[in-house]
Amino acid sequence: MTHAALVELDSALAARRAAGLARTRRIVEAVDGTHLRIDGRDLVSFASNDYLGLAGDPALAAAARAGIERWGVGAGASHLVSGHTAAHEALEDELAAYVAPCTGARALSFSSGYLANLAILTALVGRGDVIVADRLNHACLNDGAVLARATLARYAHGDAAAAAARLAGSRARRRLIATDAVFSMDGDVAPLPELVALAERHEAWLVVDDAHGFGVLGDGRGSVAHFGLHSPRLVVMGTLGKAAGVAGAFVAAHPTVIETILQTARPYIYTTAAPPLLAEALRAALDAIATGHARRAHLQSLIARFRAGAATLPWRLLPSSTAIQPLVCGDAAHALALSGELAQRGLFVPAIRPPTVPVGTARLRVSLSAAHSRRDVDRLLAALAALAGGVEGARA
Ligand SMILES: Cc1ncc(COP(=O)(O)O)c(C=O)c1O
């Protein structure tokens, strides 16, 4: 190859591979609940965010099929042109009533959480404004700050006092606090009550990314309901491709905030609406979430079972009470090797490496679902214990 630009790209890719940071996509050949077939092998997956097991639920599939009959497969245009159907409108009304972060809240649906975060941040702040953000926030909140051209002031993970200091130190006219509610690679929960109080004291918005809390915490309504919070300063983003089992996202907030996003946010305006069949499937998902007490209770029992069994493993089990249960191994190559060993034993647990997590904190991200059985969790614990024996042996 002679093209200099291609040579440069090739050497960057080679460096990534040499550092153990190259990503590969596994081709899933079949799915049956938490069981995946990859490379002809059946694996129990602890890799998805389908926390309630709704992705394969027959009621959602039936709603999607009825949606196809009624609407066809595509929306055909953006929401502000002709893509906004009665299915989207009904979904938004139902989400607003269900999540209800403030009196009279409205909701807006998106085709992805990534876009929703870009839309929120670009609509609410701009050049000269400040976004005070948890250091471990999801990448799309950071990317939203870049697109908004606001100053990004990051604070120590989970530290509301550090967030307060950032706010106090800023003279920006418009301020916004942004946090994941449940941190995607750590599983811990943000100090939302303290952050709401801060938002009110400093006249800031509090943007809560509830990608991993919606459907699970707050008896399904999400992290804001979990803490019983209610404020016109709250802007809640929830994703619909995780516990809701489908795809897309929503923003729920005060009607003025929602109207501002609808009128001004380019990531809302300049993209095709999600297929209405998905909105129909999501309405069925909302029903399943609202009545999903047994699924959530089963998930909680699996979380407790996993934590009890994993406490004695040689890897650091992070202090998480949610479905995300990371085991920190440190070294990226070690995490990758463990993930490979687990796959040999029929278990799919992804190794999460930098830059997704800080250098030196590569981990196995165990993600539990109501679709797992106790036997699945016990199998994982037994395999980890067997691998731990190898690690202890190597250390001795
Ligand atoms: C915390 C968090 N926010 C936002 C997103 C983006 O959501 P989506 O996958 O719908 O784009 C994700 C994951 O994908 C996430 O983990």
**pLDDT higher than threshold 70 for residue 153:** yes
pLDDT at 396: 41
Indicate the pLDDT class of residue 297, thresholds 50, 70 and 90: very high
pLDDT at 392: 56
| Tokens describing residue 166 | 């950032």
pLDDT at 113: 98
Q: Given ligand 1 and candidates 49, 185, 239, which is best to mutate, with the most ligand atoms within 8 Å of its CB?
A: 239
pLDDT at 19: 83
Q: Could you give the CA distance from residue 106 to residue 99 in angstroms, rounded to a whole number?
A: 10
Q: Could you give the CA distance from residue 256 to residue 267 in angstroms, rounded to a whole number?
A: 18
Give the Å distance between the CA of 244 and the centre of ligand 1: 13
Ligand 1 atom closest to 240 (CA): 10
Contacts of residue 278, defined as CB under 8 A and 6 or more positions apart, other chains included, come to: 64, 67, 246, 247, 248
Contacts of residue 228, defined as CB under 8 A and 6 or more positions apart, other chains included, come to: none
Q: Given ligand 1 and candidates 135, 182, 184, 322, which is best to mutate, with the most ligand atoms within 8 Å of its CB?
A: 184
pLDDT at 22: 84
Indicate the pLDDT class of residue 121, thresholds 50, 70 and 90: very high
**Residue-averaged pLDDT of the chain:** 96
**pLDDT higher than threshold 60 for residue 106:** yes
| Tokens describing residue 131 | 């976004």
DSSP 219: G
Indicate the pLDDT class of residue 391, thresholds 50, 70 and 90: low
Q: Could you give the CA distance from residue 253 to residue 256 in angstroms, rounded to a whole number?
A: 8
Give the Å distance between the CA of 249 and the centre of ligand 1: 9
Q: In sequence order, what DSSP letters do the residues of 284-341 get, joined into one string?
A: HHHHHHHT-HHHHHHHHHHHHHHHHHHTTSSSEE----SSEEEEEEESHHHHHHHHHH
Give the Å distance between the CA of 395 and the centre of ligand 1: 38
Contacts of residue 102, defined as CB under 8 A and 6 or more positions apart, other chains included, come to: 230, 231, 232, 234, 253, 254
Backbone angles phi, psi at 369, to 5 degrees: -140, 150
Q: Higher model confidence: residue 23 or residue 60?
A: 60
Give the Å distance between the CA of 143 and the centre of ligand 1: 12
Q: Given ligand 1 and candidates 48, 114, 216, 236, which is best to mutate, with the most ligand atoms within 8 Å of its CB?
A: 114
Q: Could you give the CA distance from residue 62 to residue 123 in angstroms, rounded to a whole number?
A: 36
Protein residue closest via CA to atom 4 of ligand 1: 113
Protein residue closest via CA to atom 7 of ligand 1: 113
**pLDDT higher than threshold 80 for residue 14:** yes
Q: What percent of the chain has pLDDT over 70?
A: 98
**Catalytic one of 212, 254, 298, 372:** 212
Q: What is the pLDDT of residues 175-228, one digit of tens each?
A: 999 999 999 999 999 999 999 999 999 999 999 999 999 999 999 999 999 999
Say whether 242 is catalytic: yes
Contact 157, 187 (CB under 8 A): no
Residues with CB under 6 Å of ligand 1 are 112-114, 138, 140, 180, 184, 209, 211, 239, 241, 249
- 51 to each of 126, 326, 327, how far by Cα in Å? 35, 15, 18
**Other C-beta atoms lying within 10 Å of the C-beta of residue 394:** 7
Q: Could you give the CA distance from residue 241 to residue 49 in angstroms, rounded to a whole number?
A: 8
**pLDDT higher than threshold 50 for residue 282:** yes
Say whether 226 is catalytic: no
Mean pLDDT, residues 58-75 taken together: 98
Domains and CATH numbers, the chain: 24-52+293-395 (3.90.1150.10), 58-290 (3.40.640.10)
Q: How many helices (H) and strands (E) does the chain have?
A: 14, 15
Q: Could you give the CA distance from residue 322 to residue 315 in angstroms, rounded to a whole number?
A: 18
Q: In sequence order, what DSSP letters do the residues of 367-386 get, joined into one string?
A: E--TTS-HHHHHHHHHHHHH
pLDDT at 10: 96
Contact 33, 354 (CB under 8 A): no
Give the Å distance between the CA of 211 and the centre of ligand 1: 6
Protein residue closest via CA to atom 5 of ligand 1: 113
Query: Is-above-0.75 flag for pTM?
Result: yes
**pLDDT higher than threshold 70 for residue 139:** yes
Torsion angle of C-alpha atoms 55, 61, 63, 66, degrees rounded to 10: 150
Say whether 212 is catalytic: yes
Q: Could you give the CA distance from residue 270 to residue 129 in angstroms, rounded to a whole number?
A: 24
pLDDT at 390: 72
Give the Å distance between the CA of 158 and the centre of ligand 1: 19
**Catalytic one of 111, 184, 320, 367:** 184
Residue with tokens 């930098």: 354
Mean pLDDT, residues 269-277 taken together: 98
Residue with tokens 């992290």: 223
3-state secondary structure of 208: strand
**Catalytic one of 79, 88, 226, 242:** 242
Contacts of residue 360, defined as CB under 8 A and 6 or more positions apart, other chains included, come to: 330, 331
Q: How many CA atoms lie within 13 A of 75 on its CB side?
A: 24
Cα 359 versus chain centre, distance: 21
Q: Could you give the CA distance from residue 94 to residue 257 in angstroms, rounded to a whole number?
A: 18
Contact 124, 257 (CB under 8 A): yes
Indicate the pLDDT class of residue 1, thresholds 50, 70 and 90: low
Least confident of 204-213, 255-264, 347-356: 347-356
Give the Å distance between the CA of 25 and the centre of ligand 1: 18
